[in-house]
Structure 1
Amino acid sequence: MSVLRFTPEQYEAHLSRLKAAVPVPVVEVSPKAAEPAAARERVRALGRLKTGEMNKTEAAYEKALADRKHAGEIVWYAFEAITFVLPGGVRYTPDFVVQLATGEIEIHEVKGYWEEDARQKIKIAQGAFPFRFIGIRKRPKKEGGGWDIEDFWKW
């Protein structure tokens, strides 16, 4: 894996992208949207934790990060360490900021399952900031366990 380095032209292009308005993505209505709103909110309300507290999936992924740190693959990681301000003033706090042994910084978002709004937010963040955004989904035990990794990097 190489270290992210900008040429002067790439840096200027990046700055111009940051200054340009990011179009609001069009989100198609999924079949889930047909579910009663009260049922969806009840499920979400049960899953909310206080800021700074990890859910079981995040805690399991932190153990995987600790193992990678012990193996020397990563140097440092932190949970909910930074908040990005996206176009329109929308705030996005990723689950983990990870520094690889190469010096690269990655942003890891851990999900048990992906809602489309979360995927759109991470895509917008990837377009606005010079970090690699990685989506991590816990694979169910019946599918062999482990982690599915989705790289949002588009440079």
Structure 2
Amino acid sequence: MSSQATKRAGATRALQALGRLKTGTMNKTEAAYAATLEARRHVGEVAWFKFEGIKLRLADNTFYTPDFAVMLADGALEMHEVKGFWQDDARAKIKIAADLYPLRFIAIQLKTKKQGGGWEFKTF
């Protein structure tokens, strides 16, 4: 294994070792995005949003809970998934959910300061 690959593997293990937050608890990136949704609600773009408010069945014993269920001012319902880093299982689940449900699924990733900051959006 190259030294670069070894460093990446070590970094991944370090992140995984941190553990997960309790269900219903936002991480820092999700909290920052919730503030963005709240600002959009105040200007009338978003009618309502709920953190981990909807659980979707993908298959027997397989579920997907989007980070945010968002209702836009026009009544359209969207599922927003906020990630700092995408792992393969999360990407697979959002793609499967988008194929199964007649909803708009949006992946949101925080841009670094070097990238200009803000949010990057990808629709599924």
TM-score range, shorter chain: 0.7 to 0.9
- Tell me which structure has the larger Cα radius of gyration: 1
- Aligned partner of 2:89 among 94, 100, 117: 117
Task: Please give the alpha-carbon distance, in whole angstroms, between the structure 1 residues aligned to 2:37 and 2:62.
Answer: 28
* Identity across matched positions, percent: 54
1:45 matched residue in structure 2: 17
Task: Please give the alpha-carbon distance, in whole angstroms, between the structure 2 residues aligned to 1:58 and 1:134.
Answer: 14
2:106 matched residue in structure 1: 134
Normalized against structure 1, the TM-score is what?
0.71
> Which letter does structure 2 place at the counterpart of 1:85?
R
1:57 matched residue in structure 2: 29
C-alpha spacing 1:137/1:36, structure 2 compared with 1 (3 Å) = closer
Task: Please give the alpha-carbon distance, in whole angstroms, between the structure 2 residues aligned to 1:61 and 1:39.
Answer: 24
Higher strand share: 2
C-alpha displacement at 1:151, in angstroms? 0.2
1:87 matched residue in structure 2: 59
C-alpha displacement at 1:114, in angstroms? 1.2
Task: Please give the alpha-carbon distance, in whole angstroms, between the structure 2 residues aligned to 1:122 and 1:112.
Answer: 15
C-alpha spacing 1:84/1:35, structure 2 compared with 1 (3 Å) = farther
1:148 equivalent in alignment to 2:120: yes
Task: Please give the alpha-carbon distance, in whole angstroms, between the structure 2 residues aligned to 1:136 and 1:91.
Answer: 20
Gaps in structure 1 of 5+ consecutive residues: 1-32
Between Structure 1 and Structure 2, how many residues are aligned?
Answer: 120
Structure 1 runs (4+) deviating above 3 angstroms are: 33-42
User: What does 1:2-17 align with in structure 2 at a 5 Å threshold?
Assistant: none
Deviations 1:45-85 (A, max 9, x none): 31510110000000000000001000100100000011111
C-alpha spacing 1:122/1:34, structure 2 compared with 1 (3 Å) = farther
C-alpha spacing 1:143/1:85, structure 2 compared with 1 (3 Å) = same
C-alpha displacement at 1:40, in angstroms? 3.3
